[in-house]
Structure 1
Amino acid sequence: MTAFYALIRKDLILFLSDRRALVMTLVLPIVIAAFFGSLFRGSAKTSAIEVALVQQDTSEIGNKIAAGLKADPNLHITAMAMADAEKAVRKGDQKVAIVLPAGFGEAAGAALFGNSRKPGIPLLYDPSQPAVLGMVKGMLTQQVMSVVSAEMFGGKMGQEITARSMQQLDEQAKTDPDSKVIRDMLASVQKYQALPARDGAAAGPSKGMTMPFTTLDRQLSSGIAEQGYNAYAHAFAGMGVQFILFMGIDMGIGILLAQRSGVWNRLLAAPVGLAQVLLARAASGAIIAFALLCIVFTVAVFVFGVHIASLPGFLGMALCFGVLTACLGLLIAAFGKTPEAARRIAMFAILIMVMLGGAWMPSFLFPAWMQQLTLAVPTRWAIDGLDAVTWRGLDAMAVLPAMGVLAGFSLLFALLAVWKFKRS
């Protein structure tokens, strides 16, 4: 056992002696995690959506719709000409452009109760912003319904449109009995429009139809974590996993370099077996990875306010991930032919793993089929487990499946590495 501990001590001393590499291994994940966390963190005041407005309808309805859109705190409206709006959307300066065509107000009022053709509102949008398009459509629908219905029930243009629609329906009723029912309804609307003003107020309603409900948003989280989704917690989990796996690549490349220089053969010529050497290298790698992840999250807790809901759960996840990193390093060394080729292949493989694991973007934002596919990737379990014991507020029992999966992958990598080393 003395030789085993000596091998571990040697690896730790070599790692700590390279101060520049040590600092970069710690600083890079912290800096990048802080950047992504600040980029995606939620706040009480969300950024307004940049929207261009091309107002070709200058009627009273058109002006009121434009005013309502400009007053919406979720939108930042910029009035533009058609050509300028198209150019701004193409360049990405504006996410959506709303075009209120000429005559829209009158056409929309006529279509509200009658059989007139519904007018269209062209929406020009950045193809990279389909979700934003849906949000703008919802807010536009609310404004148009409110303004058009208010004008139809109480505005001067509404009275004129109602009178014209009733004349048209009188003609249609001769051949279409259903038109008489609509005509009678409009007659009631016309009577309502003619109501006298009360107490100095304008006749008819001051507002049109609005959404008949509102939502009461309440953020839920488990355990004692009350801040909900914490972008910093997820960013530190993702970047910590990514850069510590890069350290695992360096561990595997170190073995290949030792084989090239002959140090590996001299080490095996000493009174220690291959299994003991590999186990010592895996143990030192796991200790380094575990310590790095703990240091990264210590900074996250004290500097960025990340909350660790379950310390035992976090330590268990950090230990399992450290073992996984070490076994992955052994696998790279076992199957790598040259240090240069092994580094390129391993770097590509790990970038794919961290991408699919949700290191760059939370996995719950993936399509459903991809979420199922990524369950076969160990980084998905590592990041989800770290998320669980931080912003999700779950306890150690909740991450036992993730720890078990990481342990299973570690065992698989270790067995494959030992088998390959023995064959070599």
Structure 2
Amino acid sequence: MVASSIPAIALMDCDSFFASCEQLFNPALLNQPVCVMSSNNGCIVARSREAKELGVKMGMPVFQAKRLFPDVHYIAAKHDLYGEISARVMRVLSEFSPIIEIYSIDEAFIDLTGLEKTYKKSYLEIASDIRNAIKYKVGVPVSIGVSSTKVLAKLATRKAKKSHGIYKIDYQDIDNELMQTDLIDIWGMGNNTVTLLNQFGLHTAYEFVCQSENFINRTLGKKGMELKLELTGKSIYRISHEVSLPKSIQQTSSFGKFTSNEQYIKDSLYYHAHRACTKLRRLGQKTQTIGIMLRTKDFKVYSTKIALVYSTNWEFEIFESINKNFNDIFNPQVIYRSSGVILENLSEEYDSQLSLFDTLDIQIKQQNLAKAWDKLEAKYGNNVILIGDRNIKHC
């Protein structure tokens, strides 16, 4: 394969992302063992490097972790914070390449093909520049792997995390890399697939790609052949930078402490509605169905749905609906642990019918206010404008 025709695909993966966000948010946690707990504080969903070194396992029940590792900082997940920092990371990536596929909240593929000439730097140097820019502009550490296919870029990123944060698998080095790679370390190889291949005496990625097409087709089918091609440097899985729009948007979180305070719980719903509307506007969508949910201390869930006459992405219209229907699910004698808002029946903003009850001038003013709010939060962060009677940063 001619060098100029070989794609250059990078995978950026934020290191211990949720824990890194917490350390960024609270610098006192830097170089400290940090574990982020699931929304119901049931298990560990993220660990800082220091917590990993102590031996804390992913998915470990919190009660067990606290007993075995009492010196670790245990923090409830703040998904809005992580989403905000993720968006900042992705914006930095877009400064380097117009073709980006956001794979998850902390991972993205970047097409670097041809950018050597644009930047007059090697792909490894460009990856290093991206890594340094994210650390400087956002503040979280990332690892970046570069190769000619998505599967190899994923493998390179695994190796980057164990080296200096960047790693490149060149076309001529593929065989050597595969000889040192266990099957379980290949993106797309699950435990069942690895167990099956082990029964045939296959344990490394190199042993797998040396098998005949007939064997792979018979054993793993089409996906197996795609993996073989990707592992040998032939790009099958292209980077897709088209954003698929969601069918619904949900915002939920646990309270900092159990409560039956009516205003406190309402404020949390307002906050969730605002975060959901911010996402709606970013995607150019509106909603016509609102769901609100309260979960009690005993994990019972009470919820209701509200159908709107006209679709909207303006939070104050949604606040009004929350106020009208809140008492349908709220009981002041009950103690609650969490709340949530879900927006459904989504449509494109330009397809939405305008309300007959609001003049065009009022709707333009609402849009301008929403844009100003979004810009303020993009620049200064969430909670620059407080909603309700009190700040609800914990949500």
Q: Please, what TM-score do these two structures have when normalized by structure 1?
A: 0.26
Larger RCO (alpha carbons 8 Å, 6+ apart):
1
Q: Please, what TM-score do these two structures have when normalized by structure 2?
A: 0.27
Say which structure is richer in helix: 1
Say which structure is richer in strand: 2
